[in-house]
Structure 1
């Protein structure tokens, strides 16, 4: 079933409450003071069912003193009915209410003219002309319906008119559950009750939610919709929730019940601010009131790139608030002057996690501009380009989505890449790849004898923000493998080859000769190097020969030619073909070497699991 929430707005005493009563049979003025004064002070609620569409109706106060309550009630509506009395015409609160509705992004609605029965023909025609002129080029243009209190059939016709117009309302709710608390009370035997309009998502009995900004965990014990128990409700419906684990004194109007970990709470927020056309100008650091959801927060607005803006203009701004605001990406708030109190514009939240980057930081400024977009693909792309790497939960929380469709779409279009549990933008990937190539080019020049850089060293140097698994997946991504080579945990450019100059080739032969002449009689590296004149070159070439398997380190800087190591293995293996044990003395005779050398060779064979030491002899490791 389609759930529509209609808000009735308009000037005081223009007949909003009477209109609802004749449509639904319910008087939404529930407070004794409201009934006594004949005016709506707080928000009134009822429902209407039209052709399978569940319609919640909100009656908001029309008096200028209660605009704060009006904005609390109008939040979350899909459709507005602007009520205008024929005998009064368009009045100050008519204009302010319509401004607020526009600022909140409502795009559907109608105008209902009331009190025709007590108006003159001149008053009626003047009001009709006035409405056509004022609402021209708005979503209310040519959507005027006139009701007559003395002709009840006009209310039936109005229902049909509403049913037709709400069929054009598009509902798309893929977000987490969220309810702005507008009332809280307790009932003996039941406990704490909160009421509000479900702004997004669904709620069911036994759901565990979080109360913001206090960050309290609560459980939903029972749900009521217009005095009837239900198992669940969804976006656009009024509800009363009986909740556990919290006292009514811990909750106030303005608090928010939502899916755990879906909202942010902050007193420093970056926004897009739009000033109403008829407001001359406001300067940076202007003191304001923000009405968002059912809450009102006082603070100051600081423009990112200018000192003031004029009527009708929009600007990126930073809010410094006197208390924390609960919200999320692209939430809309009404901005009112601190004193005297009147509406001046609206905000669209861009970054509620802001810590106020430098006021003129061009990179951050550009990022905020991109966040103004209504295109989800562009927004997620901008997030990843700015923050470099984000997890699914971080992305979805920032944009207040619960579905992964947007991420899957970007993955399938090769706009983003998944590395383990986090994502990067394809542009970031290629930037990192270019940085990697540049780093390797410099490394190869400075270390031209090395086959490549050690993976651990490279990660520390270029990918410190990556986990080990992310780093490995980056290296193994197919585009990376087109240009780099990975071998034995060494990374190099595929185009790189080790090339020895004359001096290096000569030193290689020197080292080879030293180990060849000594064969199985091992001489520690520290002693060999003392015989050399070019120590630096000797060290470099010795390292090169070790990395390229010309020589093998047995233990403690004692090396042997790889060919001789293979020969020693064959000699020992052949010995065991006809013998069951081998002593050190026998090993010395077989390899014709000193005692220290045979110990090092046999211990290395133990390490390779070719032999195994038992007491003072060795056996073949089978």
Structure 2
């Protein structure tokens, strides 16, 4: 049998916490307030073990004002234990819990009738039938119904056996690890510890993980699964993680831990929703949104109405970043009332027209991934990253590539994992042709064109370059491309062009890369030209990124010596009075003076060793 998580639900005082204690001896109400008030306030976590089997148990509060805490635990249920008092039957919080669980997509359920000792056998049968009939209205797969009393050990033992016979593991392996924090605390000698449920993929000791909300990568010091040290925590394991190098005060319930590079946060996400009976969502109204163990206050913007709807599409707009994935469930509440359940369809904020977005959401709701890709590619003319498919569509890189390769009229760069509409090729072609038409001495590589067209992959650029060679517009010279109209070797001409450019710029020479870009010159070729000019002593390199024409340098050195002759010294202040250069140039030229034997540096001033030159 698989390990799984079972969670309680039900009205306050129907015996949820007492039932858990009868099953495994765990006292869930441990805080002073819980003991004083006699109610469960927050989530409690325990487990049942039998040989190699393990059932994690999440006990939730039943009070109407504590539903937010119930939701924080319910998202991770594999199975729900619906707890109903035999004497009281279905009550308001039973109903709200059932509606929330239905909205979260929890299917597996067991019905436990508590306090059976308060009724005779006939009354118990009648009430059990009524309770079961009510629950049948919901979309649960009811595995069994069992009546218990915490004073009847036999009924508890039978319930245990029934639970161990269940095969209720519902979570499937996804593309990456996710983990919503539901508790955080600091332990003496250990440091910061968080607890939560492992989702997506297992996690191992010493692995690096990423706290999305803090944008911080950290290392796992230790893992515990139900109190025992472990080297790995599997999907659906209730897991405590000891984090290295982070203060517990910076972490909150609801923070999401994952692996770096898989999830981006956005202030808007798009959903489909369905309200509870007789309730509506109102356009541009503030609601509380529950995703995993996180609560976010956000506005709901309806797609098809500026008033209210009971189902449809909407955008959640928040001041906080939302880290979510495709098909993730959520709950929408207004104050103390649950209003609707929702499903995240578009977890990535896309710049697109409302009509495009509406088509996209309809496709995503129907899980029509091919159509969704087509709509997105049309909106992303300059490339759609396949790496985002893990978040967008819950697809692995391999699955995303399979979809991409089957799309028509697209270019797929498998190395950089980007899809382009084939029509985008004309944008690249026009840009390249424009460069070589304006400048007959342009000499660029694939890489240097990529620096100009940052959105275009090198693979796509190379495809266009080869087509331009076939059309005899360009010719290839090693890894460089030049105009087909020029047959002579013009590298010596480029040398003179660069030299003249530096001469014209005088004492404020442009950084080399800017010169290369202005001259449509490949950076590697440009570096070679500057090296050659330095060897010939026509250009002098003063700093990593500062090259000056030798004549300009001689002139500025002469002027600096004249300042010393006139003022007795030169420093930043009197140098700047005569030459309105930036500090970068002033400091560099002053430092260059230190190469002359007749110049001495005294504090921040340069003076002559002797009074005469």
TM-score by length of 1: 0.67
Is 1:331 the counterpart of 2:321? The answer is: no
Paired residue for 2:306? 307
Instruction: Measure, in 2, the Cα distance between the counterparts of 1:223 and 1:468.
Output: 43
Using the alignment, how far apart are the partners of 2:352 and 2:215 within structure 1?
26
Change (3 A) 1:110 1:51: farther
Paired residue for 2:265?
265
Q: Aligned ranges for residues 584-595 of structure 1 at < 5 Å? A: none
Please give the residue correspondences for 1:345-494 in structure 2 after superposition, counting only pairs within 5 Å: 345-354=340-349, 361-374=354-367, 383-384=376-377, 386-388=379-381, 389-401=383-395, 403-410=396-403, 418-419=412-413, 421-423=415-417, 428-429=421-422, 465-473=455-463, 486-489=470-473
Q: Which has the larger radius of gyration?
A: 1
Structure 2, gaps ≥5 residues long: 438-443, 476-482, 491-613
Residues 42 and 69 in structure 1, CA contact (< 8 A), matched pair in contact too? yes
Check 1:188–1:322 CA distance in 2 against 1; reply closer, same or farther (3 A cut).
same
Instruction: Tell me the equivalent position of 2:600.
Output: none
Deviations 1:131-185 (A, max 9, x none): 3144236224574222244443333332343344425x44321232222112111
- Which residue in the other structure is 1:512 paired with? none
Matched with 1:68 is 68
Contact 1:256 1:326 in 2 (8 A): yes
Counterparts in 2 of 1:62 and 1:412: CA distance versus 1, 3 Å: same
Kept in 2, the 8 Å contact 1:132–1:141? The answer is: no
Q: 1:94, CA displacement in angstroms?
A: 0.6
In the other structure, the counterpart of 1:30 is: 30
Provide the aligned length of Structure 1 versus Structure 2. Answer: 468
CA contact (8 A) 1:198 1:238 kept: yes
Deviates more, 1:142-151 or 1:194-203: 142-151
Secondary structure of the corresponding residue to residue 322 of structure 2: strand
Deviation at 1:71, TM superposition (A): 0.6
Q: Distance in 1 between matches of 2:459 and 2:86?
A: 70
Instruction: Quickly say closer, same or farther: Cα 1:106–1:142, change in 2 above 3 A.
Output: closer
Q: Scaled by the length of structure 2, what TM-score is found?
A: 0.68
Alpha-carbon offset, residue 269 of structure 1: 2.3
Find the aligned partners of 2:198 and 2:324 in 1 and give their Cα distance. Answer: 14
Q: Is the 8 A contact 1:261 1:397 kept in 2?
A: no
Report the Cα offset of residue 375 of structure 1.
5.7
Post-superposition offset of 1:192: 1.1
Q: Report if the CA contact (8 A) 1:417-1:423 is conserved.
A: no
Secondary structure of 2:470's counterpart equals: strand
> CA distance change for structure 1 residues 176 and 455 in 2, over 3 Å: closer, same or farther?
closer
- Going from structure 1 to structure 2, the CA distance change for 1:384 and 1:108 (only over 3 Å counts) comes to farther
Q: Which residue of 2 aligns with 1:138?
A: 139
> Is the partner of 2:361 in helix, strand or coil?
helix
The answer for unaligned runs of 5 or more in structure 1 is: 448-453, 492-545, 556-622
State the alpha-carbon separation in 2 of the partners of residues 164 and 380 from structure 1. 43
CA distance in 1, matches of 2:155, 2:75: 29
CA distance in 1, matches of 2:153, 2:314: 51
Q: How big is the shift at 1:69?
A: 0.6
8 A Cα contact 1:385 1:425, kept in partner: no
The separation in 2 between residues aligned to 1:147 and 1:204, in whole angstroms, is 39
- Distance in 1 separating the partners of 2:404 and 2:319: 41
- Aligned Cα root-mean-square deviation (Å): 3.7
SS of the residue aligned with 2:265?
strand
Residues of 2 paired with 1:131 and 1:474: CA distance?
67
Distance 1:170 1:251, change over 3 A: closer
CA distance in 2: counterparts of 1:106 and 1:267, whole angstroms:
27
Q: 1:356 to 1:104 in 2, by over 3 A?
A: farther
Note closer, same or farther for the CA distance 1:356–1:69 as it changes in structure 2 (3 Å cut).
Answer: farther
Provide Cα deviations, 1:268-309, integer angstroms capped at 9, x if missing partner. 222222212331x33211221111222211121111221234
Give the structure 2 partner of residue 126 of structure 1.
127
For 1:286-301, list aligned pairs within 5 A.
Answer: 286-301=285-300
Q: Find the residue that maps to 1:327 and give its secondary structure.
A: coil
